[in-house]
Structure formats: C-alpha cells, structure tokens
Copies of this chain bind each other. A is one copy, B any other.
Amino acid sequence: MSVQSYLQDKSKVIDTYLESLFTQGEVPQQNLYHAAKYSLLAGGKRLRPALAIATAEAFGCDESKVLRTACAIEMIHTYSLIHDDLPCMDDDDFRRGKPTLHKVFPESHAVLAGDFLLTHAFHLVASDPHLSDSQKVSLISLLSSSAGDVGMIGGQIMDIEAEGKAVDLKTLETIHSNKTGAMITASIETGAIIAGIEDKYIKQLREFGQNIGLAFQVIDDILDVTSSQEELGKTSASDIINNKSTYVSLMGVDEARQKAQDLLISAKGILEELPLQTAYLNDIADYVVSRSH
C-alpha cells in the first residue's frame, strides 16, 4: 500500500471515531458539541494521530489499541488551532478550507469548545479500556507536558512575543520545537508507549520525531509563501501579515528546502537502526517534506 493510501485509510478510521463522539442529541450543552465537532471534523491531515498509529503498528501493535489515544491527540491539536485562530491571537478567518470557528459560532463558544476538546482529550485517555493504568498515567504525563509550558503552549507564547521582532535561527528553532515539534514527537512516543516497546528505542523515536517535527515546520513556512489560500485551506502569506520570522524569511526558499531535506535524511537514518516491522514511518517522513498543503 502506498503511503497516500495508508494515510487515507487512517484518516477514515480516525474521522469515524471522532464522528462517533458526543452524539447525545438534544441536550442543554448541544452547541458545545456542535462547535467542537465543526472544528474537529473539518478534515485536517490527521498527521499526529496517524503517526501514533503508524509507530504502534511498526512495532506490531494493533491499530485498535492506539486509536482512542490517537484521537485524543487530534483533539488537543484541534483545540490549539481554535485558540490560535482567535482574534486576540493570530486572528485567522480560514482553517482547513472553512471559516474559523469564531467566524461561525460566537467567540465565547470558540474559547469554550477549545477548552472542552483539551479537557476531553485527557478524559478519553483516562477511560480507554485498551490501556493499563500505568500506560494511561505515562500517556497523560507525556501529553500534558508536550501540550503545556515546556511544549506547545510555551512555544505559542514565544511565537506571539517574537512577532515583529528580529529573531535568529536558534530562537526560531526553539519556538518551533516547542510549538509544533513537541506534539509531533509526543504522537510518535504515544504509539511507542502503547506498543510497549523498550525505553532505548523510545529515545531514538523521540529524535526521529524532533527531526520530522522541525521539517514539518520548515515546509509549512515554505508553503505559506508558495501556495494559495485554496491549496492551503487557510490564509496564505499569514506569516508576512503577522510579521513573523520564518525559515523562509531567514534563509530564503532554496536554503529552507535544503534544511528540510537534511532533517529528512537525519530522521530516516534514525529509523534504519530500529527493528521496524513496516516502512510507513519512513514513508510518512517523506510525505511530511513532499506535501503540497
């Protein structure tokens, strides 16, 4: 199976699971569910949950064991996009090809739907019947630090504070390894924890994650200036509009492309040392760098 078909297959399974959540019908909090589902089912790439599943499968663990936690990760990702798009943050009007949540629902509902998705992600993991208590605790500890001050939220604060300032490459890398890299790495580690693999491999997988996480961001920066809003599904040239330093603004498109290639080679080198049973992690790394949106 090609990596495109593999990712399409996983997206379908993930979407079906996400669609099955909170379908309580007419309840007083129904608009919370409608708002959360509007963003959750807007058709993202599902890269993070796919990485969790692909990692688990690469070590012989069945998709069914990791699906629920993988979807919890997608909920954390979606909440971060909802809050990031708010008027007081990046003030974005489009996301995943649709108007952002606060353009369709009241802004209060966007704040609360984000809060809910984050909260419910931890509930999904804590109540996952496929996991042992020890696995649940490891996963919640991992996800709450990767999504928190030493990860995603920390990166978002740095990103906002860097707007309009001259930022060097090292600072840019710190921002992105926190803002984007931490949750991509955590997705891979999630698959490894659920598959129950040895600690020594987890360390290597983390390095793999850091490389493709950064490559993902470099490509994002390139696509922001080379693609149209239609292709991206979100406002293009938004980094220029928000006066943000990017790999492209600091290195130019060609050098940025080279940087992404170098990161890809490092990432694939790490995988070669691991006893993987499938090649999809390798193929997803290729996809991250070759993607067009």
* Chain B: minimal CB distance from A91 (Å): 10
Stretch at the interface among A61-69, A126-134, A270-278: A126-134
Per-residue CB contact flags for chain A residues 68-108 toward chain B (1 = under 8 Å, else 0) read 00000000000100010010110000000000000000111
Contacts of A119 in B (CB 8 A): 118, 144, 147-149, 153
Q: Which of A5-13, A28-36, A51-59 contacts B (4 or more CB under 8 A)?
A: A28-36
A161 at the interface (CB under 8 A from B): yes
Chain B residues positioned under 8 Å from A137 (CB to CB): 126, 133, 136-137
Chain B CB within 10 A, most for which of A83, A144, A178: A144
Selected from B115, B134, B144, B145, the residue in CB contact (under 8 A) with A83 is B115
Q: What residue of chain B has the Cβ atom nearest to residue A136's Cβ?
A: B137
Are B88 and A107 neighbours in the complex by a CB distance under 8 Å?
yes
Q: In the assembled complex, how far is the CB of residue A137 from the closest CB belonging to chain B, in whole angstroms?
A: 5
A interface secondary structure, majority: helix
Say whether B126 contacts A29, CB under 8 Å.
Answer: no
- Residues from chain B with a CB closer than 8 A to the CB of A144 are 119-120, 122-123, 126
Our pick among B120, B148, B171, B178 for the contact of A149 (Cβ within 8 Å) is B120
Q: Does A44 contact B (CB under 8 A)?
A: no
Find chain B residues with CB under 8 A from A175 CB: 28
Pick the contact of A141 from B126, B145, B148, B174 — CB < 8 Å? B126
Please, how many angstroms separate the alpha-carbon atoms of A176 and B153 in the complex? 30
CB pair B158–A28 under 8 Å, yes or no, is yes
| A154–B123 CB distance below 8 A | no
Residues on B with beta carbons closer than 8 Å to the beta carbon of A169: none
Q: How far is the CA of A143 from the CA of B154 in the complex (A)?
A: 23
Contact indicator A161/B118 (Cβ below 8 Å):
no
A35–B218 alpha-carbon span in the complex (Å): 30
**Does A282 sit at the interface, judged by CB under 8 A?**
no
